[in-house]
Amino acid sequence: MNDFVKLILPRISICQILDAFQERTIIWRATQQYLESDYTDLSDMVEDCSDEQEALANADYYQYLIETIKNQLEEQNINNENEKE
């Protein structure tokens, strides 16, 4: 069972979180690329992990978080517009 938490933050804070998650996604994709080819042009940084599958899983999870937050923001924008009418 998932345990959900509702956070109420200013929109600018949510944008900062999304930006940080995007950077983490890039770094994990760079790690995956580096582990596959010993080279990456995506980032100057790579993470320590067991293999490229772990790096891909981490990148995909950050991307999932980004998409989930963006979807919730869009849903909230629609709800706010409907309340104004």
34-56 pLDDT, tens digit each: 999 999 999 999 999 999 999 99
In-domain check, residue 21: yes
In-domain check, residue 7: no
> How many angstroms separate the CA atoms of 37 and 60, rounded?
19
Number of C-alpha atoms within 13 angstroms, CB side, residue 4?
A: 2
Handedness of CA 3, 27, 35, 47 (dihedral sign): negative
Report how many domains make up the chain: 1
In-domain check, residue 41: yes
In-domain check, residue 33: yes
Q: What is the mean pLDDT of the chain?
A: 94
pTM of the model: 0.88
In-domain check, residue 35: yes
- Domain range spanning residue 73? 16-84
In-domain check, residue 10: no
